[in-house]
Chain A
Amino acid sequence: MNNIVILPIIIPMILGLIMVIFRRRIMLHRVLSILSMTGTGGAAAYLIYQVKHEGIQTLQLGGWEAPFGVSMVVDMLSALLLITTSIVALFCVIYAFKSIGREREEHYFYPLFLFLITGVNGSFITGDVFNLFVCFEVMLISSYALITLGGKSIQLRESIKYVLVNIIASFLFLIAIAYLYAVTGTLNMAHLSERVAEVGQGGLMTAVAIIFLFVFSLKAGLFLFFWLPGSYSAPPTAVAAVFAALLTKVGIYAIYRFFTLVFYHEPQVTHLIIGIMAAVTMVLGAMGAIAYKDIKKILTYNVVVGVGFILAGLASFTDAGMTGSIYYLMHDMVIKALIFIIGGVIIAIAGTSNLDDMSGLIQTHPYLGWMFFITALSISGIPPLSGFIGKVYITEGTFTSGYYWLGAIGLITSLMVLFSVMKIFMNSFWGETILSEEMEKGTTRGVMFPIVALVMLTIGLGLGAELLHDYVEIAVEGLMNPSLYIEAVLGGNAQ
Chain B
Amino acid sequence: MESLMSILIGVFFAIGTYLILTKSLLRIILGTSIISHGVHLLIITMGGVKAGGPPLLGLGSTSFTDALPQALILTAIVINFATTAIFLVLSYRSYKVLGTDDTAQMRGNEDE
Contact = CB atoms under 8 A, between A and B. Distances in A.
Q: Do chains A and B touch in the complex (CB under 8 A)?
A: yes
A71 to B, nearest CB: 15
B82 interface: yes
A174 B43 contact: yes
Nearest to B33: A167
A153 B82 CA distance: 23
B28 to A, nearest CB: 7
Interface string A133-148: 1100100110011001
Contact of A167 (B83, B97, B98): B83
Interface string B78-112: 01001100110011011001100001001110111
A494 interface: no
A153 B32 contact: no
A112 to B, nearest CB: 12
A163 B98 contact: no
A179 B82 contact: no
Contact of A156 (B82, B83, B94, B110): B94
B83 A164 contact: no
B112 A154 contact: yes
Contacts of A137: 79, 82-83
Interface residues of B, number: 36
Contacts of A167: 32, 83, 87
B90 A148 contact: yes
Interface in A166-223: 167-168, 170-171, 174-175, 177-179, 181-182, 187
A194 to B, nearest CB: 18
Contacts of B111: 294, 354
A151 B106 contact: no
B79 A163 contact: no
Nearest to B91: A160
B10 interface: no
Contact of B97 (A145, A156, A174, A181): A156
B90 A163 contact: yes
A130 interface: yes
Nearest to A182: B46
A157 interface: yes
Nearest to B85: A141
B61 interface: no
A148 B96 CA distance: 14
Interface string B1-43: 0000000000000000000100001001000100110011011
A159 interface: yes
Contacts of B42: 174-175, 178
B39 A148 contact: no
Contact of A163 (B40, B45, B86, B103): B86
A157 B93 contact: no
Interface centre among B47, B72, B107, by most chain A C-beta atoms within 10 angstroms, is B72
B37 to A, nearest CB: 11
A171 B106 contact: no
B92 to A, nearest CB: 10
Given A160-B106, A178-B39, A145 B46 contact: no
B87 A174 contact: no
Nearest to B17: A168
A167 B47 CA distance: 23
B83 A130 contact: no
A40 B91 CA distance: 35
A73 B15 CA distance: 40
Contacts of A174: 39-40, 42-43, 76
A461 to B, nearest CB: 34
Nearest to A296: B110
Interface of A: 130, 133-134, 137, 140-141, 144-145, 148, 151, 153-154, 156-157, 159-160, 163-164, 167-168, 170-171, 174-175, 177-179, 181-182, 187, 294, 354
Interface of B: 20, 25, 28, 32, 35-36, 39-40, 42-43, 45-47, 68-69, 72, 75-76, 79, 82-83, 86-87, 90-91, 93-94, 97-98, 103, 106-108, 110-112
15 contacts: A137-B79, A145-B86, A148-B93, A151-B93, A154-B108, A154-B112, A156-B98, A157-B98, A157-B108, A163-B90, A164-B32, A164-B87, A171-B36, A174-B40, A182-B47
